[in-house]
């Protein structure tokens, strides 16, 4: 028997009604990726538009166009989410073209902080390998958890499991059916 | 691994942080649970902004500029012993004092230092040097709040706590306040209120994150607070929404405001400000009728030639509606640094003693002359904004900066650099060889907050004890130790302190009404105490004015009329006419204000300086943290303009531009954003390489001399090569020991 929780991917959702745009999730994500030996780069980006502010991150689509189109099998449909093997990624950007939500970019880790020397940064050749940057639900994070969700001071980020999703759907359905 | 609780070294919220320490290094920070300020939550700076503490380029020895082995302004830095550095300072101070008098020495101290250190510093300057030439960063931020609230409700500080907003306030009016960028944990409480169903009014020219969530956003033209707030008062008064009982029992001067606002109907103001009258009325209706209602205000109230006037208008709103003196209603002046309230309390101001009394108050002078066993000067000292002028006029010969970086943080950088090149001796005390320290003659290495013990007072008047978490590395000293050692070199008595707690005991005697009841043990046990706390059995005062008695001489709140004029030149006459028209008593508070430097044909864009959430003011601390500098989607130095301004100038997002004002020229990247109105450019001041304060004017509040931090500017597109060239020039300017500046002619605007 397949466990209900394994039938669809888990994902992290953000709530613009609660987000105050404090960017703490991005720094937490950066730290998590660094601690897990991945390319040090935030996997979600806080967008500040005319009508609201919120972080945007991978939806972990069940039939993910990024994983389907990846020519080298670096992106794959895993048990919980869309997984990325950074060592296989060739930085071809097919996934960024395929993603309908703007949740994947191809980039390398930023150069180390030396703010006295912004000029050399402008001209510095890229030293590191560029890979697809996407949310992997903090797989392998020591102590478990999801860095952005755990740190958000206003609970604007939520880790959604299929069970929670079903409950949400049920709640909405009952509300709109008005029975 | 051990854990120590410290107070966050960044904004004035005063969050408690648990630092994990391994081998005398900070390895992790997390929000402390079970305290009243942040209870487990932290923003990104509190969590990840600690790399500066263990940075390799921390100063470890005192430095003196020397040539051929002796002190010379033409020399370069050489490491020296503390004895040599302090001996040189003491001898120069004695020499200048003998030749030019005590007032030829000035010191700007620090909201980054503890209460104890600020107390010792002002005691040294007043009792040993003999001058009131002291000031700190409150001058460039909430100076008008201190002055404006003091004259209207008696005390220039926040009236309530942040947590109350989340739990009790049902209406929040944010005026020129952007805590989601500058004080995220304070903003968290506003968000909690919104989730609870509270109403939000935002008055700001920028569409801030919280403005997008507001029930009413009054997107006014920059520098048009007076007409908008007067129009809100107009609606309240003409529709009888005021609290008549409160006004008649607890206030003076309502009739002045009632008369003045007649010219400011929402309909009339719609025509001049572009803000729809309906929105103004809606905001007024909400603030007057949904209780409890609280106001938060920031630099969007104080950075004007009429900053005090804006604060007067906040008091007018509070007093007309009685929105003060209860849970969740009052005014929160959201202060920028962890101890800026505390530095003010300790008398780190040119006109105020540590007990809040004026320096010319005879009784106060007598009290401190006895306490400190000295003779005190009764002249108000030089304000920080005027320091470049008094140096260039040869009135100040020695200038001493502690824990501040004015080359980046103060307006009109070229003028400041010109003054620093001119002063006889410039002493800087800091953690790093900052853009400012590089221009000094003597640099003294200081200790950071996680390396010392002492108290800080946050923006809600809560006094909290910071515990030393790690040992300082290198031959460096606490600010209070440096000052005490210098005092001894100057043969002074009364500086034999051996711990910060000993200094604390003297503070309790020096300011008994506010701090008398707070011992280290009590502060620690009760997780912070709000002043006033006059005795050991006093519970502290989280909310001021609960008995509806104000701290003014007659215990009543004073309404203070404020008017707006079209031309800066007419302000003085308008104030005189206003006083005559209303028959105001001779010292009764009132003010007129205007746009300080209007955009014109030559400089058609209005520059507003703001903050970004990931950096802290001048960036000295936060720019050393990869998780902030690289992790938080940092866009670097940008000129933020909207699409229509960008189109009018033929530039696109990501293009480089040269921006020029009457005071300086810089280069930045264009960021096109919908949050900025037409013909306005928003810029942060975190970056030396695209340094907004090279552009800002010398405009300042007429009463407190708090800078406007604005300017009219022009800009044009430049190539990538030109941008790189400007960066090379700026590196020369800000990262060399030589002082260079551009001469701009002084102009009357």
Average pLDDT of adjacent 10-residue blocks, chain B of 749 residues: 95 96 96 95 97 95 97 96 98 97 97 97 98 97 95 96 95 96 96 97 96 97 97 98 97 97 97 94 98 97 97 98 96 94 96 96 97 96 96 98 97 96 98 97 97 97 97 96 97 96 97 97 96 96 96 97 97 97 96 97 97 93 91 89 97 97 96 96 94 96 97 96 92 94 79
Q: Which residue has the tokens 């006295």?
A: A116
Facing A30 at nearest CB: one of B209, B630, B724: B630
ipTM over 0.90: yes
Note whether A113 contacts B724, CB cutoff 8 Å.
no
The reply to whether residue B188 touches residue A20, judged by beta carbons under 8 angstroms, is yes
B282 min Cα distance to partner chain A (Å): 20
- Of B550, B553, B549, B576, nearest to B563 (Cα)? B576
Question: Could you tell me if B625 and B50 are in contact, meaning their C-beta atoms sit under 8 angstroms apart?
Answer: yes
Q: Does A154 touch chain B (CB under 8 A)?
A: yes
- Which pair of tokens denotes residue B474? 């290198």
pLDDT the model gives residue A109: 82
Q: Which residues contact B218 (CB under 8 A, 6 or more apart)?
A: B201, B202, B203, B204, B228, B275, B279, B280, B283
Chain B interface disruption, residue of A22, A26, A50, A122, most B CBs within 10 A: A22
Residue B631 has what pLDDT?
87
Helices (H) and strands (E) in chain B, counts: 28, 29
Domains of chain B from N-terminus onward: 2-54 (2.20.25.90), 63-141+341-530 (3.40.50.740), 143-334+556-593 (3.40.228.10), 605-735 (2.40.40.20)
* Residue A91 near chain B (CB below 8 Å): no
Give A91-133 pLDDT, tens digit per residue: 999 999 999 999 999 998 877 656 666 655 555 556 678 999 9
Q: Which residues in chain B are contacts of A119 at CB distance < 8 A?
A: 724, 727-728, 731
pTM above 0.80, yes or no: yes
Cα–Cα distance between A105 and A56 in angstroms, integer? 12
Q: Which residue has the higher pLDDT, B494 or A8?
A: B494
Residue A1 pLDDT class (50, 70, 90 cuts): very low
Kindly indicate the confidence band of residue A79, based on its pLDDT and cuts at 50, 70 and 90. confident
Q: B455, B388, B433, B448: which is closest to B415 by C-alpha?
A: B388
So what's the pLDDT on residue A124?
A: 57
pLDDT in tens, B639-679: 999 999 999 999 999 999 999 999 999 999 999 999 999 99
Cα B45 to Cα B38: distance, rounded to the nearest angstrom: 14
Task: Return the bridge partners of B349, or none.
Answer: B352
Nearest-10 Cα torsion for B248, B251, B256, B257 = -100
Q: Tokens in use for B505?
A: 């005991």
- The answer to whether residue A50 neighbours chain B at the CB level (below 8 Å) is yes
Distance CA A82, CA A134 (A): 9
In contact, B591 and B562? CB cutoff 8 Å: yes
Residues from chain A that touch B735, judged by Cβ atoms under 8 A, are: 116
| Confidence at residue A129, expressed as pLDDT on a 0 to 100 scale | 83
Average pLDDT, whole number, for chain A? 89
């Amino acid at each position: 028997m397949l466990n209900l929780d394994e039938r669809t991917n888990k994902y992290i959702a953000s709530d613009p009604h609660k987000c105050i745009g404090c960017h703490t999730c991005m720094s937490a994500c950066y730290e998590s990726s660094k601690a897990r030996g991945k390319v040090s780069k935030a996997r979600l980006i806080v967008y500040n538009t005319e009508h609201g502010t919120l972080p945007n991150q991978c939806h972990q689509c069940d039939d993910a166009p990024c994983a389907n189109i990846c020519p080298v099998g670096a992106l794959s449909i895993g048990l919980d989410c869309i997984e990325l093997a950074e060592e296989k990624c060739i930085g071809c950007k097919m996934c960024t073209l395929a993603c309908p939500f703007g949740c994947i970019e191809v980039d390398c880790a930023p150069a180390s902080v030396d703010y006295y020397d912004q000029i050399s940064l402008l001209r510095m050749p890229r030293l590191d390998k560029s890979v697809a940057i996407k949310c992997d639900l903090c797989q392998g994070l020591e102590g478990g958890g999801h860095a952005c969700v755990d740190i958000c001071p206003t609970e604007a980020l939520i880790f959604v499991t299929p069970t929670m999703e079903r409950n949400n759907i049920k709640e909405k359905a009952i509300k709109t059916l008005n029975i | 691994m051990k854990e120590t609780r410290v107070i966050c070294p960044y904004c004035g919220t005063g969050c408690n942080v648990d630092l994990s320490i391994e081998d005398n290094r900070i390895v992790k920070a997390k929000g402390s649970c079970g305290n009243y300020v942040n209870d487990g939550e932290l923003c990104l700076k509190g969590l990840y902004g600690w790399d500066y503490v263990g940075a390799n380029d921390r100063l470890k020895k005192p430095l003196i500029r020397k040539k051929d082995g002796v002190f010379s302004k033409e020399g370069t830095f050489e490491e020296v012993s503390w004895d040599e550095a302090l001996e040189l300072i003491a001898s120069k101070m004695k020499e200048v004092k003998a030749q030019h008098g005590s007032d030829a020495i000035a010191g700007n101290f620090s909201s980054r230092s503890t209460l104890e250190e600020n107390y010792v510093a002002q005691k040294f300057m007043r009792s040993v040097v003999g001058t009131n030439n002291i000031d700190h960063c409150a001058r460039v931020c909430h100076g008008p709040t201190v002055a404006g609230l003091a004259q209207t409700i008696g005390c220039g500080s926040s009236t309530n706590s942040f947590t109350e907003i989340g739990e009790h306030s049902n209406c929040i009016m944010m005026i020129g306040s952007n805590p989601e960028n500058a004080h995220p944990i304070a903003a968290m409480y506003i968000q909690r209120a919104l989730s609870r169903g509270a109403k939000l009014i935002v008055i700001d020219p920028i569409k801030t994150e919280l403005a997008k969530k507001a029930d009413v956003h009054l997107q006014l033209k920059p520098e048009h607070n007076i007409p908008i707030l007067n129009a809100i008062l107009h609606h309240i008064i003409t529709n009888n929404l005021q609290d008549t009982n409160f006004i008649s029992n607890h206030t003076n001067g309502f009739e002045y405001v009632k008369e003045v606002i007649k010219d400011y109907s929402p309909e009339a103001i719609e025509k001049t400000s572009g803000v729809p009258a309906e929105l103004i009325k809606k905001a007024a209706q909400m603030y007057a009728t949904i209780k409890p209602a609280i106001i938060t205000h920031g630099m969007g109230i104080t950075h004007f030639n009429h900053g005090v006037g804006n604060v007067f208008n906040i008091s007018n709103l509070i007093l007309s509606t009685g929105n003060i003196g209860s849970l969740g209603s009052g005014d929160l002046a959201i202060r920028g640094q962890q101890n800026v309230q505390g530095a003010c309390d300790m008398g780190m101001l040119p006109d105020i003693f540590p007990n809040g009394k004026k320096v010319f108050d005879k009784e106060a002078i007598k009290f401190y002359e006895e306490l400190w066993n000295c003779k005190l000067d009764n002249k108000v000292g030089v304000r920080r904004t005027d320091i470049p002028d008094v140096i260039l006029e040869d009135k100040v010969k020695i200038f001493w900066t502690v824990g501040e970086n004015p080359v980046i943080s103060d307006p009109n950088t070229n003028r400041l650099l010109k003054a620093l090149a001119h002063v006889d001796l410039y002493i800087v005390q800091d953690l790093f060889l900052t853009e400012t320290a590089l221009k000094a003659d003597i640099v003294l290495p200081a200790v950071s907050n996680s390396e010392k013990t002492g108290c800080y007072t946050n923006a809600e008047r809560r006094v909290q004890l910071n515990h030393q978490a790690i040992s300082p590395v290198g031959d460096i000293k606490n600010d209070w130790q440096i000052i005490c050692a210098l005092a001894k070199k100057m043969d002074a008595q009364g500086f034999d302190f051996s711990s910060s707690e000993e200094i604390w005991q003297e503070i309790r005697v020096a300011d008994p009404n506010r701090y008398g009841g707070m011992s280290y043990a009590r502060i620690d046990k009760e997780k912070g105490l709000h002043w006033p706390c006059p005795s050991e059995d006093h519970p502290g005062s989280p909310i001021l004015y609960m008995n509806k008695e104000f701290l003014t001489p007659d215990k009543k709140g004073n309404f203070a009329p404020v008017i707006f004029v079209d031309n800066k030149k007419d302000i003085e006459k308008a104030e005189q006419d206003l006083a005559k028209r209303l028959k105001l008593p001779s010292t009764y508070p009132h003010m007129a204000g205007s746009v300080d430097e209007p955009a014109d044909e030559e400089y058609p864009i209005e520059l507003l300086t703001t903050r970004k959430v990931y950096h802290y003011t001048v960036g000295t601390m936060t720019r050393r943290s990869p998780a902030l500098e690289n992790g938080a989607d940092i866009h670097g130095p940008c000129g933020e303009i909207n699409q229509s301004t960008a189109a009018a100038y033929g530039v696109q997002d990501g293009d480089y531009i040269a921006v020029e004002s009457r005071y300086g020229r810089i280069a930045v990247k264009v960021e096109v954003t919908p949050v900025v109105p037409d013909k306005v450019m928003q810029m942060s001041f975190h970056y030396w390489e695209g340094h907004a304060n090279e552009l800002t004017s010398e405009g300042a509040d007429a009463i407190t001399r708090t800078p406007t931090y604005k300017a009219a500017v022009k800009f044009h597109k430049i190539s990538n090569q030109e941008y790189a060239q400007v960066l090379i020039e700026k590196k020369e300017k800000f990262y060399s020991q030589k002082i260079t500046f551009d001469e701009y002619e002084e102009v009357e605007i």
